[in-house]
Amino acid sequence: MTLALLALLPRLCLVGFRLLQGQPPDLYEYDDLARNLLAGKGYLYFHYGTPYLGFHSSFPYVFLTAFIYRLTGFSQTAVLMVQCLMGAALAFVIRSLGIRIVGKQGGGFAGTLTALHPGLLYYDTHKLHPLSFDALAVACATLALWQLFTAPSLRRFAAAGFLSGLALLERGTFIPVIPVCVAVLFWKSENKRAVFRGTLVFFVGLSFLTAPWILRNNRIFGVPVLMTTIGEHLWRGNNPNATGTSLTREGMPMIQTADPRFQEQLNSLHEMGQMRLFLDAGRRYIAEHPGRFVKNIVKRVFYFFWFSPTAGALYPAWAFVVYRAYYAAMLLFAGWGMASLHRQQRMGLFLVGGVWLCVGLMQSFFYVETRHRWGVEGLMLIFSAAGILRFYELGKTSTNP
């Protein structure tokens, strides 16, 4: 009950304050997609003047938004309320995972840190955006993988597969977690046949959500793609003017730096043509500048775990200063917490840290914004909580010799 209040009370207060000020939430493509679904136009979004039917893959959040709109007469406030509930649910999942890894006290504190995470608080109450839903899906999948590693069963293989599929649809950068976890299961297990059967069940659960979407896209586009914006995402981080983010250092969208002929060609193409144009340009840049490509990946990994030159450009200056100090402290405590784990807790470190690292590395092949880290930052807070408690224990010891 206390954790629910910590998560919901500040969110509801912020939503109420903004409503009293007459400030509507910031809208993104998810709102357009939900409205087009309800209007009978399908999963449609206009991008670069072109109708897109495979824009991103966050259709669980989009369909949820459409469902809420249908029930409430297009109430954006209702969507914000559901986002607040997702933020609270995320805190409970992080708490549950934290209890398993660092104990009851550490897990409870990790849930509290997640409930009050400033970035998630901001997104849940200021924007119609799936960030907390993304983070919740990744956290649930990680918890299911933890249960699978500690006590494997066919039921747990199926649950882990299903939740991994949800995480993959919401955050495509979750994809490397899946083969890494399967490989580790085979490596650790003495009963390879049981793991093989379980892996088949895992992929059945994974396919339950992902296969219909991919088959739908294959029917529309003729190729089994997860999303048709993958080419643009690759190009944003791999072009002659790339900063590692989606913005220039001056805060302009990256597409505005492209050659006018490229932009003219882009505007003349349909959805798949635009995807291929971006893909070809990104691949060509990588092939022509392999050393720069590797250097840029390293740079973007640093941006993912710290801050890029354009970080904070889209947020109030004071808020970014506060968050930067908060994150520096949490990162420091996370390192301390990881170092203080005893041997029995290290499997949790490898799993949770591995998910965090895999998502960060995958994101670094494309482009990095601070919000991408927020989707997995709750996992880091488990170790931040352990570090803070360790610091507190040392303080008590020094004052009570």
Residue pLDDT, tens place only, 63-120: 999 999 999 999 999 999 999 999 999 999 999 999 999 999 999 999 999 999 999 9
Q: How far apart are CA 263 and CA 261, in angstroms?
A: 5
- Give residue 348's pLDDT: 83
DSSP state at residue 152: -
Q: Which residues, given as ranges, of the chain have pLDDT below 70?
A: 395-401
Q: Quick one: DSSP state of residue 25?
A: P
Positive or negative torsion for Cα 83, 84, 85, 90: positive
The residue whose two tokens read 């990588």 is: 286
What single letter denotes the amino acid at residue 214?
I
Residue 368's closest CA among 266, 244, 265?
244
CA distances from 28 to 2, 35, 56, 129, 284 (A): 33, 12, 12, 7, 31
Give residue for tokens 């104990």.
103
* Angle at the Cα of 130 from the Cα atoms of 128 and 135, rounded to 5 degrees: 145
d(CA 382, CA 384): 5
What pLDDT, on a 0 to 100 scale, did the predictor assign at position 220? 95
Instruction: Report the chain's terminal Cα–Cα distance, integer Å.
Output: 36
Contact 378, 131 (CB under 8 A): no
What the block records as the tokens of 34 is 């939900």
Cα separation, 175 vs 178, whole angstroms: 6
What are the helix (H) ranges across 56-191? 59-72, 76-115, 118-126, 131-150, 154-170, 177-188
Q: Give the pLDDT of residue 231.
A: 94
157, containing H or E segment: helix 154-170
| Domain with 384 in it | 2-399
Q: Give the pairing type, strands 50-52 and 45-47.
A: antiparallel
Q: Look at residue 396 in the predicted model and tell me its pLDDT.
A: 63
Nearest in space to 352 (alpha carbons), one of 387, 378, 326, 386:
378
In 3D space, the residue among 60, 70, 52 whose CA is nearest the CA of residue 130 turns out to be: 60
> What are 47's strand-pairing partners?
50
Positions of E strands within 135-255: none
Nearest to 8 by CA among 61, 80, 60: 80
Number of domains composing the chain: 1
Report the alpha-carbon distance of residue 94 to residue 136 in Å, rounded. 9
Residue 343 confidence (pLDDT):
77
Tokens in use for 390?
A: 């360790």
The four Cα atoms 215, 217, 218, 220 give a dihedral, to 10 degrees, of 130
**What's the confidence (pLDDT) of residue 395?**
65
- Yes or no: say if 58 and 169 are a contact pair by the CB < 8 Å rule: yes
Q: Indicate the DSSP class of residue 57.
A: S
Residue whose structure tokens are 């897990």: 107
Residue 212 has what pLDDT?
93
The pLDDT of residue 399 is 61
pLDDT at 213: 93
Residue 392 near residue 336, CB atoms below 8 Å: no
Sign of CA dihedral 90, 92, 95, 100: negative
Q: Kindly report the pTM of this predicted structure.
A: 0.94
Q: Which one, of 387, 372, 318, lies nearest residue 98 by Cα?
A: 387
pLDDT given at position 113: 96
As beta bridge partners, residue 50 has: 47
